[in-house]
């Protein structure tokens, strides 16, 4: 089943969205992230994607208390990302009940640590690949590397990661539609499942993503908050739910 996964991005304790991941292009949607997490679950979400933006920029999760409150408040699995660059942070997140953790920067900058994370929590680590023009970015999308996304994915393909979250950051938060060609190219290069992220604007975008082989879900943020995607309708059309 193709999953439509609402994003709950936390910065300064509030639910926000950034434009193309830029810290200076922020819009606050909810003062209380727990409130919006409950809203998406009531509308039928089967999973949430919670991001600690402060953690992504600073390199250590800053909003774990809010994440724990979300986990305790909802009845669906919570996937987390944002600044997980130590074993201590990873352990803390699993202790508070997070289902899967998305890790990106460590896989590029400290592959030995990433390998240890994956071996300690097989099937629970998602490799987050944030790309711009097909090249990997790190540290909250601030650093653009010379490493092709497909090359990074291939390096970890045989490890016991759950799969991948592939984000085209040039489309994220822009309401311009996903980069379907790039998503398809990436998904066809790996055998583990891929969750697409970035640019979803209409339900039709989700329908098109759901038809790409190996893409098992999509993270939706601004489109839900701005109302260009109705979650119930999206679930009916691409997930057979709600």
Catalytically active residues are 9, 130
State how far the Cα of 51 lies from the Cα of 171, in Å rounded to an integer.
17
State how far the Cα of 17 lies from the Cα of 87, in Å rounded to an integer.
27
Beta 215-220 vs 143-148: how paired, if at all? Answer: unpaired
State how far the Cα of 126 lies from the Cα of 114, in Å rounded to an integer.
11
Alpha-carbon distances, residue 72 vs 37, 76, 77, 179 (angstroms) = 11, 10, 10, 35
State how far the Cα of 225 lies from the Cα of 30, in Å rounded to an integer.
9
- Going by C-alpha positions, the residue among 154, 156, 84, 95 that lies closest to residue 122 is 156
- Going by C-alpha positions, the residue among 80, 141, 138, 144 that lies closest to residue 108 is 138
Beta 215-220 vs 3-11: how paired, if at all? Answer: parallel
**Which residues have C-beta within 8 Å of that of residue 63, sequence separation ≥ 6?**
10, 13, 33, 52, 54, 55
């Amino acid at each position: 089943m193709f999953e439509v996964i609402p994003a709950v991005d936390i910065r300064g304790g509030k639910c926000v969205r950034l434009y193309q991941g830029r810290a200076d292009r922020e819009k606050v949607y909810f003062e209380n992230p727990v409130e919006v997490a409950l809203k998406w679950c009531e509308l039928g979400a089967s999973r949430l994607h919670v991001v600690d933006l402060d953690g992504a920029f600073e390199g250590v999760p800053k909003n774990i208390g809010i994440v724990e409150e979300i986990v305790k408040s909802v009845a669906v699995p919570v996937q987390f990302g944002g600044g997980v660059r130590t074993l201590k942070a990873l352990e803390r997140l699993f202790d508070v009940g997070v289902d899967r953790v998305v890790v990106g920067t460590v896989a590029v900058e400290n592959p030995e640590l990433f390998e240890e994370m994956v071996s300690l929590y097989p099937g629970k680590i998602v490799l987050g690949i944030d790309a711009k023009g097909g090249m990997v970015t790190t540290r909250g999308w601030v650093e653009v590397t010379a490493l092709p996304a497909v090359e990074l994915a291939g390096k970890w393909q045989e490890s016991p990661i759950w799969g991948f979250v592939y984000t085209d950051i040039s489309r994220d938060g822009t309401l311009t539609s996903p980069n379907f060609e790039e998503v398809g190219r990436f998904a066809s290069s790996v055998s583990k499942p891929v969750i697409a992220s970035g640019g979803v604007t209409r339900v039709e975008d989700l329908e098109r993503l759901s038809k790409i082989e190996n893409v098992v879900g999509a993270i939706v943020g601004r489109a839900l908050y701005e109302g260009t995607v109705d979650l119930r309708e999206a679930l009916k059309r691409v997930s057979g739910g709600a």
